[in-house]
Amino acid sequence: MDTATDEDRWVVPTRWWGTALPIRGLGPAPRERVSADAAARAARTYDDATEFVATALDNPDSDPALVTHGRAALTGAPNVLGHAVIATLVCATSDFPATGDLLDLWVTRFGVAGAAQLVASMTQLGVARSTPSDGRPAYEGPPAIGAVAPDLIQGPIVTTRCRGGQVEGFRPWDPHIRLRRLVAALPDDDYTALVEAFAQLRGRSRAVDAMIVYLLPSRQEWVDAAIAAIPPRNHWGDLDGYRQALFGSITTMDQLDALIDASIDAGHDRGHLIWMIGTGKAVLPSLVCHLGPACAPLLAEIADGNVSAANRYKIYDYLSHMPTDKAFALLLDRLGRKNVERSVLAAADRFPRRALRLFTERGLQRLRDDHVRTHPELSPETSDTVVPADVPAGRVPALLASPPWVGYRRPKPVTVSVESSPTPVCTRWRAGERQRWTQTAPRYPIGPGSGWRAHIEADLRHPRGLRVETFSQAPVEMIRPYLHGAQPGFVWRALPDLQRILGRFDTEAIGYVLAAVRSKPVGHIEALLPVEGGEIAALMATWCTRRTTRAAAQQWLERHAPTAAHDLIPAAVGTPGPPRAAAETALLYLHSIGWGDTVRSAAAGYGREAAEVIDTLLTTDPVLRLPARMPALPSWLRPELLPALHARGGDDALPLDAVTNLCLMAALCQPDVVYAGIEQVIGELDAPTLAQWARAVFEQWRHAGYPAAQGWILTLQALVGDDDTVTMLSPLIRSWPGQSAHKRAIAGLDALAQIGTDTALLHLHAISEKLKFPALKTAAQDKIEQIAVDLGLTTDQLGDRLVPTFDLDTPDALHLNYGPRSFTFDFDEHLRPILYDATGRVRKTLPKPAAVDDPDLAPTAYARFTALRKNLKPVAGDQIARLEQAMVTRRRWTTIEFTDFFVDHPLLIHLVRRLVWGIYTPTGEQLRAAFRISDDDTFLDLDDIVVSAGDEEVIGLVHPCELGATLTAWRTRFEIAQPFEQLHRTVHQATGPDRTDLRLTRFERLHVPAAALIGLERNGWVREEPADAGMQISTSRTLPSGTVTVSFSPGISVGAPTMFPDQYLVDISVNPRPLGHWHRVDTSETLRDLTDLATTHTPATT
């Protein structure tokens, strides 16, 4: 076959015809079935509508002629219009699924041709309502049947004597598409008869004509007439459905141009028209199948418009199949957009010579080089760019040389029928646990001003009934009568309340809590931790198979291992299916954490056969735990383009087959369930080259637009990544939520946590401290907290250990040696490097190496300083903010911690020396001595006298309000720029009502910019979770003494924070005690923030 010629041949992929609107004679004959069950359901719908139909036919406001036809149809007469009248009335009583069933009934009763005539006739009909005589609203009046005016496709029903109602217009949906497919597949004689019948119907109504054209597009002269007769826009609608039908029925570019021109002449702008084409039901595949590559420019225009991501990708896929330079060029024009490169690669595989030529013409070197490597048949023409084949393989890991899925057949599962004896559902509290749960702080405290009884009654009147928060907080004896049989209406972030409910009511609340967790398992399963029983074990086994609930379910299994094993054995040896698979997964988890003997003992209790099945389950090589169907690698993943992989201690590259098998092993992994085979293989490969290889896999995924099906690529980074992987991932993770990729960002956080190096934890900690996307920031905080717990630390203590040194602890770290020239640098109060030449003169920039400089030393020094400036900036800001927060929250360190993590830290010492520190009593509350740190790291007081801190004392950053009368002296003595306001920080004291009241009314009833409220987040304020419509109407700050909350109106929209730029301060309250009882530091910081907020007050705009 001539390859060049084949690259110019257009063939519609067979699968596309199934999604396109069929035209008889184009493509394979469509196949469509009629369902007897659906017809039976529709017959019941007819029966249910009997009274409605009779009322409409008896209504004097109905069109008399249509009533006559309808009554004739009820007698069984072959009256098409009459049956259309009855069908229209029946449709008015049913929802869309039932209406879809009606088509099956019509085809069953009248045949395909009869159903087509019926549907065409229905298009002009509609149901109106007579105005009730008793004053009820019009929509409750009796139905009346009528029709649209003959010259309209849609509009008011004019042939009834009542007002209201209209024919909504021509808008084909699934039943119409099914009917068109049935019509296209009619035998020749039936098809000819239908054409003749439609010819008789045509001309009676434009609405009927529109449906005829849609159902019978093979009569292209009728399509042409419909295009020429497109009506203008009017207040009854834009007739988008009508135009969509025409776009799905044309077969030539002339018709396409005429249809677009006629639509624009009728008053439609092109932008709306393009949007309509891109969103129409089955329109896109119809255009492609019916017009072919000639429609490529229109497809690209649609992709550039406002269409869904799914449709945009479909368009790119369509273009990648078209054998023309134009279609390929349209893809290349859009390189850089999501999913385009994967389509370009697919097109390059289909048309390799065209791809090579166009890549070369456009100077796309990376794509060109990769292309010739994957298509060696091009080498005679491109011998200078073909990459040589890999060297012969060295030591190939056995699992890569002979993967377990090759030739493996999963043994047939053995089934054992056993009598189950499930554990009764009950609570098993740990010591003190119930009391702690009872005292858990509710997420949304309720303080009903009208009393709890009124609050409960108000809840009962609500459609959702009593809220979870009400059961959680109302007096026990008052709310207990409502608990039995209650169903939770709306469960959202309710874990604290569910814990309180179970703690307060114990076994009485199990049913309620269980129903709440069933309705929304994610984030709530922990509420069932004290509850055991067979029903709970089965649920936990199922949840153990889902990524979003696995961790919590595993926590429950570990807590209740003996009874869980007993309860899960019957399902694990029973009939194959989801329950058995879930039980097996749960028992394997218990086995993996050391409960294997318990599982075996539980199985033995059910008999020898059950014990043998479970023993086989536990002893099967985990490498052989494979899915029923192996995943396929995506077309855009090119193993041959990846960097060479080496076995540990070897120099030879692994062969391509082994690399492909490694990719398949990675594809078997889930974020928290790693395929055992890849864990074995990782240990046999060279770690640095493996990490580099994995990053290259990630790059291919990125260029392909991050297809969700290949999310395992992030899991691969977690398994083999290094610090370079972290540097690659961190900025992407920060940006993904803004690209509607929150789940991908969460998976990226998982990867950072699993990589687990100091660099990875540093980036994870930075994300948890400072990120503009709250959900991702919270997720990072959760991971940092878990890592800290695992290490026996607090998150703050972990943060102390994650500050990078940037190799500043090496000799001559602040010296830059160019050979003949040298430079030094220091840091200012913001940790910005200050550069000096050999004479001590400050330089703005470090000069690039010159010819006179040492060729080895100078480039190395220049690169080191350049990298330091780049990497230091985000770290500096984070550390300064962390130190300021430590001062505000009165954090304390032991003398040893302070010395190890601050005084001896080569970077932080440059901040530490610019701040005033204090030695505090062991409780951390009383300042004993303030000091600064000299250049030789000595602790000096205000009079430069050395102070020492004992082992029992603690150290912290001094807040200026703690210095009292010495504050002025410290300001005078310590004349040095500070990284944040410390000595010159404004000090506030609570006076008057501020000291005694829980509301700070002097700050209320002010109008402030929304930006000022958002800016409070820099000081540790947190806006509430979004409420209805994504609005936030309060922000709060929690300090050691209590919480201050600012409520405002109309609120901040999460999606558009500046939608309401002016905010009114409604309420400002402190809890649990007035400021007069707060620590002076907390009081000062609270009043400082509120005073700054008040200074932004602007008069209300009218």
Region of residue 185 (phi > 0: left; psi between -120 and 50: alpha; otherwise: beta): alpha
Cβ contacts of 279 within 8 Å, gap of 6 or more: 307, 308, 311
953 and 841, same structural domain? yes
714 assigned to some structural domain: no
The strand ranges marked E within 897-1009 are 917-920, 927-933, 939-940, 954-957, 1007-1009
Confidence of residue 158 (pLDDT cuts 50, 70, 90): low
Mean pLDDT of 408-412: 84
Whole-angstrom CA distances from 788 to 158, 346, 730, 785, 794 are 74, 46, 20, 5, 6
Tens-place pLDDT, residues 582-602: 999 999 999 999 999 999 999
Q: Which residue from 409, 399, 406, 413 is spatially nearest to 617, judged by alpha carbons?
A: 413
1020 and 898, same structural domain? no
773 assigned to some structural domain: no
Would you give the end-to-end CA distance of the chain in angstroms? 77
957 assigned to some structural domain: yes
H-state helical runs in 997-1079: 1010-1015
Say how far apart CA 790 and CA 406 lie, in whole Å.
40
932 within 8 A of 940, measured Cβ to Cβ: yes
The angle formed by the CA atoms of residues 1049, 1054 and 1056, to the nearest 5 degrees, is: 90
Provide the domain limits for residue 1026. 993-1094
Mean pLDDT of 674-679: 92
Higher pLDDT, 962 or 374: 962
pLDDT at 162 (0 to 100):
56
Tens-place pLDDT, residues 890-926: 999 999 999 999 999 999 999 999 999 999 999 888 9
| Residue 941, helix vs strand vs coil | coil
pLDDT at 2 (0 to 100):
44
pLDDT at 171 (0 to 100):
57
Find the length of the chain.
Answer: 1102
How is the chain split among helix, strand and coil, in percent rounded to 5?
Answer: 55, 10, 35
Cβ contacts of 720 within 8 Å, gap of 6 or more: 682, 687, 690, 691, 694
274 within 8 A of 263, measured Cβ to Cβ: no
Amino acid identity, residue 592? S
Higher pLDDT, 619 or 765: 619
pLDDT at 172 (0 to 100):
59
Please check the confidence at residue 5 and state whether its pLDDT lies above 50.
yes
Amino acid identity, residue 992? G
| Domain final residue, candidates 175, 197, 218 | 218
pTM: predicted TM-score of the whole model, two decimal places: 0.70
Mean pLDDT of 685-706: 94
Mean pLDDT of 416-432: 96
pLDDT at 1100 (0 to 100):
54
Tell me what the pLDDT averaged over the chain comes to. 89
Tens-place pLDDT, residues 1056-1097: 787 889 999 999 999 889 999 999 999 999 999 999 999 988
Q: Which residue from 755, 634, 666, 699 is spatially nearest to 400, judged by alpha carbons?
A: 666
Q: Which residue from 350, 348, 354, 343 is spatially nearest to 367, judged by alpha carbons?
A: 348
Please check the confidence at residue 388 and state whether its pLDDT lies above 50.
no
Q: What is the CATH number of the domain that holds 1006?
A: 3.30.310
pLDDT at 418 (0 to 100):
95
Say what percent of the chain tops pLDDT 90. 65
Q: Are strands 927-933 and 917-920 parallel, antiparallel or unpaired?
A: antiparallel
550 within 8 A of 589, measured Cβ to Cβ: no
Q: Which residue from 718, 778, 688, 710 is spatially nearest to 742, judged by alpha carbons?
A: 778
- The helix-helix angle for 742-755 and 758-769 (nearest 10°) equals 140
Confidence of residue 229 (pLDDT cuts 50, 70, 90): confident
pLDDT at 945 (0 to 100):
95
**Helix or strand holding residue 308 (H, E):** none
Mean pLDDT of 374-393: 55
DSSP string, 944-972: S-B----TT-EEEEPPGGGSGGGHHHHHH
654 assigned to some structural domain: no
934 and 1081, same structural domain? no
Please check the confidence at residue 395 and state whether its pLDDT lies above 70.
yes
> Hey, which residues does 1062 pair with through a beta bridge?
1009
The tally of domains found in the chain comes to 3
72 within 8 A of 80, measured Cβ to Cβ: no
105 and 178, same structural domain? yes
Mean pLDDT of 1012-1031: 82
474 within 8 A of 495, measured Cβ to Cβ: no
739 assigned to some structural domain: no
Tens-place pLDDT, residues 36-81: 999 999 999 999 899 999 999 999 999 999 999 999 999 989 899 9
Say how far apart CA 400 and CA 191 lie, in whole Å.
59
A 10 A CB-CB count for 71 gives 15
| Domain final residue, candidates 924, 944, 973 | 973
Mean pLDDT of 471-488: 92
Whole-angstrom CA distances from 140 to 91, 156, 961 are 17, 19, 71
pLDDT at 307 (0 to 100):
87
225 assigned to some structural domain: no
Q: Give every strand in the sheet of 893-894, ordered side by side.
A: 893-894, 954-957, 917-920, 927-933, 939-940
150: buried, middle or exposed (CB in 10 Å: 19+, 13-18, 0-12)? Answer: middle
348: buried, middle or exposed (CB in 10 Å: 19+, 13-18, 0-12)? Answer: buried
301 assigned to some structural domain: no
895 and 831, same structural domain? yes
Please check the confidence at residue 443 and state whether its pLDDT lies above 90.
no
Tens-place pLDDT, residues 209-225: 888 999 999 999 999 99
Residue entry with tokens 């799905």 = 248
Higher pLDDT, 1032 or 395: 1032
pLDDT at 478 (0 to 100):
94
| Domain final residue, candidates 218, 237, 264 | 218
128 and 56, same structural domain? yes
In this structure, what token pair is assigned to residue 553? 């379910």
Say how far apart CA 77 and CA 1 lie, in whole Å.
62
Q: Which residue from 333, 319, 341 is spatially nearest to 361, judged by alpha carbons?
A: 333
A 10 A CB-CB count for 605 gives 13
Whole-angstrom CA distances from 872 to 799, 866, 877, 908, 910 are 16, 10, 9, 12, 13
115 and 31, same structural domain? yes
pLDDT at 974 (0 to 100):
86
Say how far apart CA 652 and CA 649 lie, in whole Å.
10
141 and 106, same structural domain? yes
Please check the confidence at residue 459 and state whether its pLDDT lies above 90.
no
Residue entry with tokens 């990729």 = 741
Largest interatomic CA distance in the chain: 114
924 assigned to some structural domain: yes
pLDDT at 231 (0 to 100):
73
953 and 892, same structural domain? yes
Please check the confidence at residue 548 and state whether its pLDDT lies above 60.
yes
Say how far apart CA 43 and CA 105 lie, in whole Å.
7
Please check the confidence at residue 572 and state whether its pLDDT lies above 70.
yes
| Residue 689, helix vs strand vs coil | helix
In this structure, what token pair is assigned to residue 925? 């509350």
Mean pLDDT of 444-464: 76
1007 and 952, same structural domain? no
Mean pLDDT of 435-449: 81
pLDDT at 575 (0 to 100):
95
Cβ contacts of 737 within 8 Å, gap of 6 or more: 745, 773, 775, 776
Amino acid identity, residue 973? R
| Residue 485, helix vs strand vs coil | coil
Residue entry with tokens 């879809």 = 100
Please check the confidence at residue 159 and state whether its pLDDT lies above 80.
no
146 and 60, same structural domain? yes
pLDDT at 499 (0 to 100):
97
222-255 per-residue burial string, b: 16 or more CB within 10 A, e: under 16: bbbebbeebbeeeebbbbbbbbbbbbbbbbeeeb
Mean pLDDT of 815-828: 96
pLDDT at 793 (0 to 100):
86
pLDDT at 195 (0 to 100):
96
Please check the confidence at residue 389 and state whether its pLDDT lies above 50.
no
Say how far apart CA 273 and CA 267 lie, in whole Å.
10
Cβ contacts of 290 within 8 Å, gap of 6 or more: 20, 23, 26, 248, 250, 251
953 and 1032, same structural domain? no
Phi–psi pair at 836, nearest 5 degrees:
-125, 145
Higher pLDDT, 74 or 411: 74
Say how far apart CA 280 and CA 305 lie, in whole Å.
14
Amino acid identity, residue 712? W
Tens-place pLDDT, residues 309-351: 889 999 999 999 999 999 999 999 999 898 899 999 999 999 9
450 within 8 A of 474, measured Cβ to Cβ: no
Confidence of residue 138 (pLDDT cuts 50, 70, 90): low
